[in-house]
Amino acid sequence: MERFRKVDDRGLLDAARTEAAAFGAFYARHERRLLAYLVRRTGSSELAADLCAESFAVVLDVCRRRGPLPDVPVAWLFGVANHKLADSARSRQVDDRARRRLQMRAVEFTRGQLSEIEVLADLDQAACLLAGLSTEQREAVLAHVVEDRDYAEIADHLRCSESVVRKRVSRGLAALRVRLQEGQ
């Protein structure tokens, strides 16, 4: 997998036509984000895991069949996942034809693994919320709230005054509060 580290997604899928490790690299690169997205959309870590597996199976199936590859594979992957999600909502079950065609076993998850998937979704949601803040606000909020550092220490690290840090934290938290309220 190391040798595929610098290969772009399209190159990975092209290589996956003949090398399983290339698809493994694509999977490793996008699995966590897709799982987190699907947990947020479904509210169920088990359903999200099934949909994620089937989405990757569809992509692998297309690679093996030598079908045309998209210019932006990650967008295609999420598009496949959205179609699988819509299909499962209509039929109230996950379509597993691609996995069966590839002769892949259904994955059984332990309670611990399902909990880890739910944590992923929470972390992904937090990262999305924080991404909307300015770099200065994000650094200050993370340092004060997550790392539990005091204002003086943060000010020293950021080379600014303590009052500037307080304002950044205050404004950052206010922006997060607004986003959270809008999302309810």
Per CATH, is 2-113 categorized as 1.10.10.10? Answer: no
Joined tokens for residue 151: 């204002």
d(CA 24, CA 168): 41
Q: What confidence tens digit (pLDDT) does each residue in 76-133 have?
A: 999 999 998 888 877 665 656 655 665 666 656 666 665 666 655 555 556 666 677 8
Angle (CA) 44-108-110 rounded to 5° is 70
The residue among 142 and 108 whose pLDDT is bigger is 142
Per CATH, is 132-183 categorized as 1.10.10.10? Answer: yes
The domain locations on the chain are 2-113, 132-183
d(CA 135, CA 49): 33
Instruction: With 0.75 as the threshold, say if the pTM is over it.
Output: no
Q: What confidence tens digit (pLDDT) does each residue in 1-20 have?
A: 678 888 999 999 999 999 99
Joined tokens for residue 143: 């340092």
Joined tokens for residue 174: 């206010």
Contacts for 80 with CB less than 8 Å, ≥ 6 apart: 55, 58, 59
